Homo-oligomer: A and B are copies of this chain.
Amino acid sequence: MKKVVTMGEIMMRLSPNNYLRFNQANNFDVVYGGGEANVAVSLANYGHNVNFVTKLPKHELGDCAVDFIRAKGVNTSHIARGGERIGIYFLEHGASMRPSKVVYDRAHSSISDVEISDFDFDKIFEGKDWFHFTGITPALSKKSIEITKIAVKKAKEHGLTVSVDLNYRKKLWTPEEAQNVMIPLMEYVDVCIGNEEDAEKVLGLKPEGTDVVKGELHIDGYKSLLKKLKDKYNFSHVACSLRKSISASDNGWSGLAYEGNDYYHSKNYDIRIVDRVGAGDSFASGFIHGLISKNDTRYAIEFAVAASALKHTIFGDFNLVSVSEVEALMGGDGSGRVQR
């Protein structure tokens, strides 16, 4: 069990159920989630001691978000309260060839108006082992760029391992803006995680021979990409998930990791999707757990992929699975037989 800190935005997520379109719904399911919060919950599920750092408004809906992650055992004592609003995103679940849709309503959220005085990073990082952030947080606002920079540097000062999930969001910034901010941050990063879009948009590196829309993946291109990433930024580990998008209902899912010697290409899973939001976060948290629990890249990538394959079968942003469930799937039992 390690002590982990993640920092970022947690949003209210509102979604029609039963594959209804937005304009058919009389009610919306409500959960709360966000890249770094999702990682926090996963790592708490895996038995780690996790702090999630964010800022939320003082009203009752801010309380809801706190309760939601506190229920899963994440420490919420460093969450600042104040600001204008909680970010919201609306999710329409797709099916078959109809894609899922996300409508973001996250501008002006409390975390994007964060002040440096909201957090005491020396206290937050004291005695901790690992810090995780994503490319979403600095994309939110100028203030959030500042707070991310401070956090990353402070984490390094306190001797934490730092991981990043690149997580490009085109609604929040352009590739140029992203690269201006993110590339300088890479010097503080030990472990870099991303998917096929992120490396290109956030760091300007691209796999060869891949066409995401057509759902094709060429593993050699990805290998060269990971090598480029590692070589350029001197990461200890790089990993990416490999999604084969067949439809909104079916995906292939695997992962690739590299730590300077070997490439580790995981088992592939053919998935019937219940809810794919948060899959990348579950991959990141699985990879982190693999590294901190066993320090074994093969274990880490297989754990990451099995964990995130399971995420696709779970409603909401959080990947509510245990280590034993992930390891059972890694061990080969994907038969789905009833466990009595």
Which residues from chain B contact A212 at a C-beta distance below 8 Å? 335, 337
Which residues from chain B contact A88 at a C-beta distance below 8 Å? 88, 105
Q: Are A97 and B320 in contact (CB under 8 A)?
A: no
Copies of this chain in its oligomeric complex: 6
Interchain nearest-CB distance for A328 vs B (Å) = 8
Question: A66 CA to B170 CA in the complex, in Å?
Answer: 27
Which residues from chain B contact A20 at a C-beta distance below 8 Å? 315
Give the dominant DSSP class at A's interface.
loop
- Given A71-B68, A315-B18, A94 and B24 contact (CB-CB distance below 8 Å): no
A residues 34-72 in Cβ contact with B at 8 Å: 59-61, 63-64, 67-68, 70-72
Which residues from chain B contact A217 at a C-beta distance below 8 Å? none
Q: Does A161 contact B (CB under 8 A)?
A: no
Interchain nearest-CB distance for A109 vs B (Å) = 10
In this complex, what residue of B is CB-closest to A60? B22
- Given A27-B30, A336-B245, A90 and B105 contact (CB-CB distance below 8 Å): no
Q: Which of B68, B73, B313 contacts A94 (CB 8 A)?
A: B313
Q: Are A22 and B97 in contact (CB under 8 A)?
A: no
Interchain nearest-CB distance for A81 vs B (Å) = 14
> Known contacts A60-B101, A101-B338; can you find 6 more A-B pairs with CB under 8 A?
A14-B28, A17-B18, A97-B334, A98-B336, A247-B336, A276-B338
